[in-house]
Chain A
Amino acid sequence: DAKTTQPPSMDCAEGRAANLPCNHSTISGNEYVYWYRQIHSQGPQYIIHGLKNNETNEMASLIITEDRKSSTLILPHATLRDTAVYYCIVRVIGAQKLVFGQGTRLTINP
C-alpha cells in the first residue's frame, strides 16, 4: 500500500506556479521522497527527490517540512504540457519496488 496521501485532482492556470502537496506522516528516517509524473499513455517521468533538505532542479522544486511528514512539489511556471498525474512516493535508497498510489491529476488551464 502507498504510504503517501495526495489530493485526487488539482487545477492551475498556465504560467502560474503549481503547488502539489503530499502527506507522508509515517515516513522513516531513511526514506526519501520521490516525485514522478505520468502524462497520458506514457511511462512515468522522474522529476525530483529529496531526504530532508529542499531540492531544486530544472523541472521543479521540492519543499520538505522540517518534521518530514509532508512535502510540496512546485512547478514554478506551469505550461499545458505539465498536465499529468503526479505521484509522490517514499522509498528507501536501494529498495527495488516503487509503490505508486493514485497520485494527483493536475490540469493546467489556458
Chain B
Amino acid sequence: SQTIHQWPATLVQPVGSPLSLECTVEGTSNPNLYWYRQAAGRGLQLLFYSVGIGQISSEVPQNLSASRPQDRQFILSSKKLLLSDSGFYLCAWSGIAGARTDTQYFGPGTRLTVL
C-alpha cells in the first residue's frame, strides 16, 4: 500500500530564516505531488503541484518554491520566511490524471509557526 511521509511534524522559525519541508511517497511510481497550505481557520490553498521530476507548477505567487529532485520526493522551500507563511503545510499525492486513481491522498502535515 502507499504511504506518504512529511517532516518535520512541527517547526518554529524566526522571520527571515530559510525553510525546507520534505515529503516522500512510498509504494507508487510516477505520482502527481502537491503542496497545500491551510491557514488557521481557513480552507486549503494549493501552492504547487508536480507531474514529474523537475516539473513544478505554481498556483499562487509567493516567497515559497518547490522542487522535485526524485520521483517520490517533493520539497517546499523558502529563502526568507514571512510571518504570513505560518500555517499547516500538507503534501498530497495522486495517481494518473484522468483515471479514478487520481484521487488525492494527504500526508500528516507540518505545522509551521513563524515568529
* B-side interface size class: 20 to 34
* Interchain CA distance A45-B59 in the complex, whole Å: 22
* Interchain CA distance A36-B38 in the complex, whole Å: 15
Determine whether B11 belongs to the interface, using a CB cutoff of 8 Å to chain A. no
By a CB distance below 8 angstroms, the chain A residues around B34 are: 96
* Interchain CA distance A94-B99 in the complex, whole Å: 7
Interface residue total, chain A, C-beta cutoff 8 A: 20
By a CB distance below 8 angstroms, the chain B residues around A93 are: 97-100, 102
* Interchain CA distance A46-B102 in the complex, whole Å: 12
By a CB distance below 8 angstroms, the chain B residues around A49 are: 103
Cβ–Cβ contact B57 & A100, under 8 A = no
Q: Mark A84-96, 1 if CB is under 8 A from B, else 0.
A: 0000000001101
Determine whether B32 belongs to the interface, using a CB cutoff of 8 Å to chain A. yes
By a CB distance below 8 angstroms, the chain A residues around B97 are: 93-94, 96
Residue of A nearest to B109 (CB): A43
Residue of A nearest to B32 (CB): A96
Shortest Cβ distance from residue A55 to the other chain B in the assembled complex, whole angstroms: 11
Cβ–Cβ contact A41 & B111, under 8 A = yes
Q: Of residues 58 to 115 in B, which have CB atoms within 8 Å of A's CB atoms?
A: 59, 88, 90, 92, 97-100, 102-109, 111
Cβ–Cβ contact B44 & A44, under 8 A = yes
By a CB distance below 8 angstroms, the chain B residues around A97 are: 46, 49, 59
Interface, chain B (partner A; CB < 8 A): 32, 34, 36, 43-44, 46, 49, 57, 59, 88, 90, 92, 97-100, 102-109, 111
Interface, chain A (partner B; CB < 8 A): 2, 34, 36, 41-46, 49, 93-94, 96-103
